[in-house]
Amino acid sequence: MSIPESSPSPDPVPVPVPPDLPEMDTESFRRKLAGLADPDRTTGMTEKTEIRETASRFCSILAYLFGRDLGRLTLSSRIDSALESACAKVSDDDLDRFVTICLDHIQADAAQAAACEPLRQLLETFLVRPPEWRQEFLHYIGTHRLAVVVRGKARWDLVKNKEIEL
Amino acid sequence: MNEGPRSIVIVCYSEALSRITHMSGTAGNEALIWREGLVTPRGVRTIPALSGNALRYRTVREPGARWLIREYGLTGRLTLTQLNFLFHGGNLTKKSNGREDTNRIATYQRLFPLGRLLGGTLPDQILAGSLDTWIGELVCQENRDYLEAVLPDPKVLPARLRPAESFVSGYQYTRGDAARTVPTLARLKGPDSAGSDSSNLMIYSGQAVLRGAAFVHGFTLKNVSELEIGALILSLRLWQAAGGTIGGQAARGHGRLALSLVAGDFDQNEAVNAYVQHARSVRSEATAWLESVFARKPDAAAEGKTRTAPESVGLDLENAGEDL
């Protein structure tokens, strides 16, 4: 027998009953769901394209400003780790900080960066974009990092061949 | 309190208090989350979800069975077969004798409202349940049509929800290696010693649903009494009180859900109290039932008997089918 009668179980201590489950009324449920709402805008194809091209351009600027003390053979992998590191550190829409972390990571020369007109233009562009755009930019780089590096490298090759402007 | 049996729908909203890693499998060292295919106007999308199977076990069967065992003082006294019945529904291990023992079913359903809810399998008989567990669907734009269909008041949904992929992230951990972390504690000579090249450092990673994401899930109870409702609600409460985890990696802080009831026409306390009082009042009977149903027949080989036709040894013909 699995429960022998010869050894009756001791009187068990009643197990406490846990408290009520919370019940949500319509208003509190509405407030909860509001936190899962998409920002009041949708990302159209034009915006997606702009974000993708801006990310490629940013990569090519990083290649241009790549630290002279670093081996050029490590250019792509170093830019990749710069993006990875910056994405991990910037969780809001502060793209100035994002750019700064990337420049630090590739050991960009401050004087050369300050003189880089395309970088200044890019920072100005970031400044005038809405917060949702900036967050989408970070999200895109965070989730498409290798594609960004590949496109950035291809763009940098075109710049080197003077086929396009930086 | 509702007098007679009735069918009710309970809708729950569970918010992720930590990352949810309810997995479907692995790709190399990366664990992939469980997803459900969904037809949308833009093609088929696979959306993270919580399987009904996991929700049924983790939120109802496991906490409910554990409570019964503690309440009845049966810890350490049950066989694995009995535990399998209570925790996993049991197995059909014997030939059915071809008839349904309605008296036994009725007794079981009276003594174990949780069992009537979940169903199960005795060694020779399948017991139907009365609980349908819904799949936990992510609250996201792709699931909007579904949410509008199941929520009691779809107007609470915002104009546009975030897309499913915005709730998916990843994690990465490293399993350490004693050769690197505590080499000075290892023996110095021989195989598998401090200097040997047997590193097993491992990086493993996976997908996760982000903290703050939410799932809508629920239960349909068919033709049940207050006792079954109480058994379900008590189980959900126990599950929440024990951390409310779902999926894997709970040991590392993953999987915590905070459950709220959104809809359900019943009084929680009334149902739970009724169930608790009932369970306590039938303790001796329920324990005896568990004992009798899963009692082992004397082992024929151990008693030096040989298998022969039941007629020739005068066995109880009513139970003959179980032994042959």
Distance from CA of B120 to the nearest CA of A (A): 20
Contacts of B272 in chain A (CB under 8 A): 17
Cβ–Cβ of B159/A37 closer than 8 Å?
yes
Contacts of A60 (CB under 8 A, 6+ apart): A152, A153, A155, A156, A159, A166
For residue A159, the model assigns a pLDDT of 96
Note whether A88 contacts B: Cβ–Cβ < 8 A.
no
Handedness of CA B242, B243, B247, B250 (dihedral sign): negative
For residue B43, the model assigns a pLDDT of 85
The CB density around residue B318, as the number of other CB atoms within 10 Å, is: 9
Q: Which two tokens stand for residue B280?
A: 């306590």
CA distance A102 to A44: 28
Contacts of A30 in chain B (CB under 8 A): 156
Least CB–CB distance from A12: residue in B71, B79, B82: B71
Q: Which residue of chain A comes nearest to B82, CA vs CA?
A: A2
Contacts of A41 in chain B (CB under 8 A): none
Cβ–Cβ of A26/B153 closer than 8 Å?
yes
Contact B29, B205 (CB under 8 A): yes
What global pTM score does this model have? 0.79
For residue B179, the model assigns a pLDDT of 84
Please give the ipTM for the structure prediction: 0.77
Least CB–CB distance from A18: residue in B240, B262, B295: B240
Q: What are the pLDDT tens digits along chain B (324 aa)?
A: 556 788 999 999 999 999 999 999 888 888 999 999 998 887 889 999 999 999 999 999 999 999 999 999 999 999 999 999 999 999 888 776 667 788 889 999 999 999 999 999 988 888 999 999 999 999 999 999 999 999 999 999 998 899 898 899 999 999 888 888 888 898 888 888 887 776 778 888 999 999 999 999 999 999 999 999 999 999 999 999 999 999 999 999 999 999 999 977 889 999 999 999 999 999 999 999 999 988 876 654 454 444 443 333 333 333 333 332
Contacts of A20 in chain B (CB under 8 A): 237, 268-269
Contact B256, B41 (CB under 8 A): no
B44 or A41, which is more confident: B44
For residue B41, the model assigns a pLDDT of 80
Q: Which two tokens stand for residue B182?
A: 């505590």
Cβ–Cβ of B71/A35 closer than 8 Å?
no
Q: Which two tokens stand for residue A157?
A: 């090759």
For residue B309, the model assigns a pLDDT of 39
3-state secondary structure of B258: strand
Cβ–Cβ of A3/B141 closer than 8 Å?
no
CB burial of A70-109 (b: ≥16 within 10 Å; e: otherwise) equals eeeeebbebbbbbbeebbeebeebbbeebbbbbbebbebe
The tally of CA atoms less than 13 A away on the side-chain side of residue B218 is 18
Q: Which residue of chain B comes nearest to A14, CA vs CA?
A: B71
Least CB–CB distance from A36: residue in B139, B236, B283: B139
Q: Which two tokens stand for residue B173?
A: 């951990």
* B28-31 long-range Cβ contacts below 8 angstroms, 24+ apart: B29/B202, B29/B203, B29/B204, B29/B205, B30/B204, B30/B205, B30/B206, B30/B207, B31/B204, B31/B205, B31/B206, B31/B207, B31/B248
For residue A6, the model assigns a pLDDT of 45
Which pLDDT tens digit goes with each residue over A80-110? 999 999 998 888 889 999 999 999 999 999 9
Tell me which of A20, A38, A48 to substitute to probe the interface with B (most B C-beta atoms closer than 10 Å).
A38
Note whether A71 contacts B: Cβ–Cβ < 8 A.
no
The dihedrals phi and psi of B260, each to the nearest 5 degrees, come to -130, 145
Q: What is the DSSP letter of A13?
A: P
Per the prediction, chain A carries an average pLDDT of 90
Nearest to A23 by CA among B246, B144, B236: B236
Contacts of B74 in chain A (CB under 8 A): 3, 9
For residue B35, the model assigns a pLDDT of 95
Segment A115-140 mean pLDDT:
93
Report whether pLDDT(A59) > 80: yes
For residue A4, the model assigns a pLDDT of 53
Segment A4-28 mean pLDDT:
78
Cβ–Cβ of B74/A34 closer than 8 Å?
no
Distance from CA of B162 to the nearest CA of A (A): 4
Cβ–Cβ of B291/A36 closer than 8 Å?
no
Contact B46, B38 (CB under 8 A): yes
* pLDDT confidence band for A2 (50 / 70 / 90): low
Q: Which two tokens stand for residue A47?
A: 């915006």
